Amino acid sequence: MVKKTVERAFAGTNIFFRQMNLQNPGQLFEWHEHNFDHVTWCPQGRVEVSCVLPNGKKITTIMGPEDEPLILIKKGVKHQGVCLEGPVKFFCMYAHRNATGDFVEEYTGWGKAYC
């Protein structure tokens, strides 16, 4: 499986947008979790997003413009995505954060939230 690539990242006011692309079916972004909530938007292609809640419950959602275009992933929820139909373009969107996951108005240099 080929991992995701972060194509572009930019901020609008204090909101950060991280664009990722998956080109081929089976390509994925690996399991990970954050200490903050974030919204994921998929305006192109189809991707299967799998989540494991802190209580162990598993949820799978198909994202895309004809499916579920936006989802909220809460902090502490482990998640990954697999391309079903490419190319997939999707964005993770969240407020600037510091290392404890708290909101900040400006970029603090805490790179883990941005890569």
* φ and ψ of 79, to 5 deg: -150, 155
How confident is the model at residue 19, as a pLDDT? 87
Tens-place pLDDT, residues 20-51: 899 999 999 889 888 888 999 999 999 999 99
CA–CA dist 85, 22 (Å, integer): 9
How confident is the model at residue 2, as a pLDDT? 46
Element containing residue 25 per DSSP (H, E): none
Regions of the chain with pLDDT less than 50: 1-3, 6
Q: What's the CATH fold of domain 5-114?
A: Jelly Rolls (2.60.120)
CA–CA dist 14, 78 (Å, integer): 25
What global pTM score does this model have? 0.77
How confident is the model at residue 114, as a pLDDT? 55
